[in-house]
A and B are shown apart, each in its own frame.
Chain A
Amino acid sequence: MLHYFANPTRFQRLSRRVEPWLLTAMLVCFGAGLYFALFSSPVDYQQGHTVRIMYIHVPAAWMALFCYTAMAVAAAVAMIWKHALADVAAKATAPIGAAFTFLALVTGSLWGKPMWGTWWVWDARLTSVLVLFFLYLGYMALRDAFDEPGRGARASAILVLVGFVNVPIIKFSVDWWNTLHQPSSVLRMDGPTIHADMLTPLFLMAAAFQFYYFWLVLVRIRRELMVNRTRALRHRQASG
């Protein structure tokens, strides 16, 4: 039984040491990113100040995809090498990814109101992100649907890999569907030409989100490991 927790213990030590650095990096990037995004970047000639929503929306959408990819990788590692920590990482990532996806949807909708005059438009990108949100919900629901946690972990690992294979197909089909139904091109969220001054805050915010993810996922993994340990102690208590 001891070797079972040996690796996680080592992880906990390492994680505690890295977390403050990640937190600091995140705060610096957020500070700088928000300054550039809100004050020191040009106003878009078409979108006006609304363009500033992009500095949240675009990194959030990137993170939505990144987290799903991370989950798929973690699930594959957990499935092939039976690595317990990878499984915990997949579990810890899911709600973070779902939150980023939700943020991308909300900011997209907020941006849409002044731009399109309505809160929701079946734009190809937004629709794809919405489907991705459903995939996150399905993963979390399946993971939580079993009395035996191990079964939920293995089933949801398969699901996230199936979903991962399907994401490009869904993306392709939604793009196809969108061009079929909206031949008159609506205003794109990100035109092909982005002003260089807009790139600085965009990348700073993206880095901040990225650091935020790594910091939070480490905290969540540590928490999950503690919950597991408590459960193991309870079981030992039950069996006398």
Chain B
Amino acid sequence: MSAFAVLFRREMRLAMRQSTDSFMVIAFFVVAVVLFPFGVGPEPNMLARIGPGVIWVAALLAAMLSMDRMFMGDYEDGSLELLVLSPVPLELVVLVKVLTHWLTTGLPLIVTAPLLFVMMNVPEDIWPVLLMTLLLGTPVLSLLGSVGAALTLGARRGGVLLSLLVLPLLIPVLIFAVGAGDAVLYGAGAKANLMLLGGMLLGALALTPWVTAHALREAVA
């Protein structure tokens, strides 16, 4: 069996047997969005106006919430040292971790999003575009989050620190994702936004595993 399959099977097994983690992320996502009508009032046009942005920001925060555990378990029980010392390239280990993180948080967020579109009265014409932005954007969250997760291993208050480090770096994703919905509403078409998001995904895919692997080696040294 290839190293990828071996790693992937282990990560998925661990994730499946601790699936309450995934559930909590989704619950946080929904609760965070549901707070907004209470905060700004239930006026449908207002909700429709802020809906895409609110949903994206909540998705960002929900993804951050689960991020610090990406390497934490392996770091604490000594598995991380052994993964660093295994003959398998550490970059591959990172990619598998990121993929698992996306499958257990990003993908459930996308599946839940339509429910929140309904509740926030988001116009139906922009549903497909918003789902596309989530599909392209959430992997970037997992990738950049992996850098933060690796850098904050062993830090005091790692979770809060991680958000402080990573959230500013995610501003471009937020801008282009929410902008895509607006672009469709104004009749401009969302092609440019989606292309830019896709570009960011490719760039992150090429660079972050390498950076994260480097940070992990530093963390166990």
A-side interface residues toward B, CB under 8 Å? 131, 134-135, 137-138, 141-142, 145-147, 151, 154-156, 158-159, 162-163, 165-166, 169-170, 172-174, 176-177, 180
Whether the Cβ atoms of B179 and A176 lie closer than 8 Å is yes
Neighbouring A residues of B158 by C-beta, 8 Å: 145
Q: How far is the CA of A179 from the CA of B157 in the complex (A)?
A: 38
Whether the Cβ atoms of A177 and B179 lie closer than 8 Å is yes
A181 and chain B: residue at smallest CB distance: B182
**Most chain A beta-carbon neighbours within 10 Å: one of B152, B175, B215:** B175
Q: How far is the CA of A155 from the CA of B214 in the complex (A)?
A: 10
Whether the Cβ atoms of B176 and A173 lie closer than 8 Å is yes
**B103 close to chain A: CB less than 8 A:** no
CB distance from B28 to the nearest CB of A (A): 23
Q: A142-B152, A145-B152, A145-B156 are in contact. Are A169 and B165 (CB under 8 A)?
A: no
CB distance from A85 to the nearest CB of B (A): 20
Q: Number of A-B pairs whose CB atoms are under 8 Å?
A: 75
**Interface residue from B171, B179, B182, B219 paired with A131 (Cβ < 8 Å):** B171
Whether the Cβ atoms of B164 and A138 lie closer than 8 Å is yes
**B147 close to chain A: CB less than 8 A:** yes
**Interface residue from A145, A158, A180 paired with B155 (Cβ < 8 Å):** A145
B-side interface residues toward A, CB under 8 Å? 147, 151-152, 154-158, 161, 164-165, 167-169, 171-172, 175-176, 179, 182, 200, 207, 211, 214-215, 218-219
Whether the Cβ atoms of A159 and B165 lie closer than 8 Å is yes
Whether the Cβ atoms of A158 and B169 lie closer than 8 Å is no
Q: How far is the CA of A145 from the CA of B175 in the complex (A)?
A: 30
B156 and chain A: residue at smallest CB distance: A145
Q: How far is the CA of A170 from the CA of B175 in the complex (A)?
A: 10
Q: How far is the CA of A166 from the CA of B176 in the complex (A)?
A: 15
B158 and chain A: residue at smallest CB distance: A145
Neighbouring B residues of A163 by C-beta, 8 Å: 169
Q: How far is the CA of A147 from the CA of B219 in the complex (A)?
A: 13
Whether the Cβ atoms of B151 and A174 lie closer than 8 Å is no
Whether the Cβ atoms of A145 and B147 lie closer than 8 Å is no
B164 and chain A: residue at smallest CB distance: A138
Q: A134-B164, A176-B175 are in contact. Are A166 and B157 (CB under 8 A)?
A: no
Whether the Cβ atoms of A158 and B211 lie closer than 8 Å is yes
Q: How far is the CA of A12 from the CA of B155 in the complex (A)?
A: 32
11 other A-B residue contacts (CB within 8 Å) besides A145-B157, A177-B179: A131-B168, A138-B164, A145-B158, A145-B161, A151-B219, A155-B152, A159-B151, A162-B169, A173-B172, A173-B175, A177-B175
Closest 3 interchain pairs by CB?
A: A173-B172, A145-B155, A134-B168
Whether the Cβ atoms of A173 and B165 lie closer than 8 Å is no
Neighbouring A residues of B168 by C-beta, 8 Å: 131, 134-135, 138, 170
Q: A155-B151, A158-B151 are in contact. Are A141 and B161 (CB under 8 A)?
A: yes
A152 and chain B: residue at smallest CB distance: B155
**Interface residue from B154, B164, B172 paired with A146 (Cβ < 8 Å):** B154
Q: How far is the CA of A145 from the CA of B219 in the complex (A)?
A: 13
Neighbouring B residues of A154 by C-beta, 8 Å: 218
Q: How far is the CA of A176 from the CA of B196 in the complex (A)?
A: 11
Q: How far is the CA of A146 from the CA of B161 in the complex (A)?
A: 11
CB distance from A82 to the nearest CB of B (A): 12
A175 and chain B: residue at smallest CB distance: B175
CB distance from B33 to the nearest CB of A (A): 22
Q: How far is the CA of A126 from the CA of B214 in the complex (A)?
A: 33
Neighbouring B residues of A138 by C-beta, 8 Å: 161, 164-165, 168
A155 and chain B: residue at smallest CB distance: B151
Q: How far is the CA of A138 from the CA of B156 in the complex (A)?
A: 14
Whether the Cβ atoms of A169 and B172 lie closer than 8 Å is yes
Whether the Cβ atoms of B164 and A151 lie closer than 8 Å is no
B172 and chain A: residue at smallest CB distance: A173
Q: A145-B152, A158-B151, A180-B182 are in contact. Are A170 and B172 (CB under 8 A)?
A: yes
